[in-house]
Amino acid sequence: MQLSTTFRHMEASPAVKDYAEERLEKIKKYFSRDPIAAHGTFSVERNHNHTAEFSLTLPNGIVIQARETTEDMYSSIDLSVARIERQVRKWKEKIRTHKPHGGPHLQVRQTVLAAENLEPQPGAPAETKPAVGDVPVIRDATEEVRTLHLRDAAMQLNLVERDVLVFVDADKNSISVIYRRKDGNYGLIETGVATPSN
């Protein structure tokens, strides 16, 4: 597995990169021979905490991420890789036990997102959006929207341990949003917004 790296607030360390690559090798046993893209970010904060963050992109487009902070970079790498391995095992187990009509079902609702009201105004800070009515809208994160099949999108939602995921539905070539409902099921919002053809 080839690992690209970013070092922040510390000098680039071949020893850290080699150690991370060695630890990540054990993840490969869960997959076929298809390549896995990996990126590691290593940083040292002012309080001397060492953070190791990994992002692995699987052949089907699913992304696995983990971030751990300790007082030692090698310990942070160990804990972060262990977290990834737990996520991969969980994902593999879900696939193994998946039944077409079992598990959480998808509640489908049709809607169209009115994105034109959320365009940034000239001079607005990059991290904020203008207020919509009396409610300010704050940019939480900017992420790449991936093309996934619905089942893979549900798996991705579990792997990143978040409540909402925006993706391009590979079967319909349109933007969709999958989210975790309070009752444990998944909700699906189909925007009907088609993605540009390549």
pLDDT in tens, 161-185: 678 888 889 888 889 999 888 877 7
Angstrom distance (rounded) from CA 145 to CA 135: 26
**Do residue 118 and residue 180 come from a single domain?**
yes
Same-domain status, 40 and 14? yes
CATH code, domain carrying 160:
3.30.505.50
Note the pLDDT tens digit of each residue in 13-28.
Answer: 999 999 999 999 888 8
Confidence of residue 191 (pLDDT cuts 50, 70, 90): confident
- Would you state the pLDDT for residue 69? 95
**Same domain flag for 73 and 159:** no
What type of residue is 99? K
Token pair 């509640």 is found at 107
Same domain, 80 and 124: no
Are 61 and 92 part of one and the same domain? yes
Closest CA to 1 of 26, 23, 20, 25: 25
The CATH number linked to 57 is 3.30.160.100
**Which residues constitute the domain of residue 37?**
3-97
Q: Which of 114-118, 137-141, 175-179 has the lowest mean pLDDT?
A: 114-118
User: How many domains does one find in the chain?
Assistant: 2
pLDDT at 152 over 90: no
Residue ending a domain, among 51, 78, 97, is 97
Shared domain for 8 and 35, answered yes or no, is yes
pLDDT surpasses 70 at 44: yes
Angle at which helix 73-97 crosses helix 150-159, to 10 degrees, equals 140
Instruction: Determine the Cα–Cα distance for residues 119 and 147; give it in Å rounded to an integer.
Output: 24
d(CA 46, CA 41) in angstroms, rounded, equals: 16
Q: Which of 70, 97, 124 finishes a domain?
A: 97
pLDDT at 100 over 80: no
User: CB atoms < 10 A from the CB of 91, how many?
Assistant: 19
pLDDT bracket for residue 87 (50, 70, 90): confident
DSSP three-state, residue 62: coil
User: Once rounded to an integer, what is the mean pLDDT over residues 35-62?
Assistant: 87
Among the candidates 62, 97, 132, a domain finishes at: 97
**pLDDT value of residue 197:** 60
Token reading at 46: 């002012």
Claim to verify: residue 90 and residue 8 sit in the same structural domain: yes
